[in-house]
Amino acid sequence: MHKDIATPIRTKAILEKYGFSFKKSLGQNFLIDTNILRNIVEHAELSENSAAIEIGPGIGALTEQLAKRCKKVVAFEIDQRLLPILADTLEPYPNTHIIHQDVLKADVAKVIEEELAGISDIMVVANLPYYVTTPIILKLLEENLPIRGIVVMLQKEVADRISAKPGTKDYGSLSIAIQYYTAAETVMIVPKTVFMPQPNVDSAVIRLTKRESPLVPVISEDFLFTVTRASFAQRRKTILNNLTSQLPGGKEKKEQILQALSLAEIEPGRRGESLSIPEFARLSDALYPYFH
């Protein structure tokens, strides 16, 4: 039996052995609680025929727990100082493969094709660096990768925004962009005390299960997200005001925007946060001919 990486004592020993210091710019916070890591892995519902893609493995604490559960783990690590540490800590797990690359610049589909060929059940499981959480999740969803879903730890407030329902203060264009592609649920809250160094905020683990097809069909997904971002530009403003001030040429097209709202059966005096995703889909399709 190998000693778990994710204990305070083992983590300190590994960092001291390599003289490793945390880089604030990379948002490095390592988990030092094995039970929480096992819980995260539980929520991913992996079997010995599954594969996991990890982002930001750090010193391999979560990687190790994933490797014990599934067939193969591929992890993207941007910090080259961690590569020798990972080679050492993950030596007992030949089913792990570390790719030294920024996941935001990586061709993830190609990596899946080359590294995970023949594995049909693939989950992304990660303790994400807080400063790039949203772009990473959106990239994974927009590229329509052959994954079942995503289980990630992130800032609790971002988790709240991702899983928010219409009519709540957390609901916004991020909730819509992610719920359009997935069913989102917060599965656990994680206190800041289980990290080294301790972050300033509590964390949450969110599970995103990919939909067979997006929630509602639209003429253009890009335009749908343009409309939702415009609608939340100033939360206190009505949908009509936001659209006229935010859409390109909107001020000159106020009449057309009013027609589109009428066609989509949406009162111009409503606020963006009151619209459901199907309502936004109707609205963006009604607006589309006027802006293309």
Instruction: Collapse the DSSP code of 183 into the 3-class scheme (helix H, G, I; strand E, B; otherwise coil) and give the result.
Output: strand
Known binder of ligand: residue 127?
yes
Q: Which residue, chain included where needed, has tokens 């693939």?
A: 122
Q: Which residues contact 197 (CB under 8 A, 6 or more apart)?
A: 22, 29
Q: Are 250 and 187 in contact (CB under 8 A)?
A: no
What's the token pair of residue 281? 């889909």
241-250: buried (b, 16+ CB within 10 Å) or exposed (e) per residue?
bbbbebbeeb
CA distance 245 to 164: 26
Q: Is 29 annotated as a binding residue?
A: yes
Buried b (16+ CB within 10 A) or exposed e, 73-85: bbbbbbbeebeeb
8 alpha carbon, distance to own chain's centre? 27
Q: Is 77 annotated as a binding residue?
A: yes
What is the DSSP code (8-state) at residue 4? P
The CA-to-CA distance between both ends of the chain, in Å, stands at 62
The single residue listed with the structure tokens 């962009």 is 177
Identify which of 171, 203, 181 has the alpha carbon closest to the alpha carbon of residue 190. Answer: 203
| Residue entry with tokens 């989950």 | 123
Residues annotated within a binding site for S-adenosyl-L-methionine: 29, 31, 56, 77, 102, 127
Residues annotated within a binding site: 29, 31, 56, 77, 102, 127
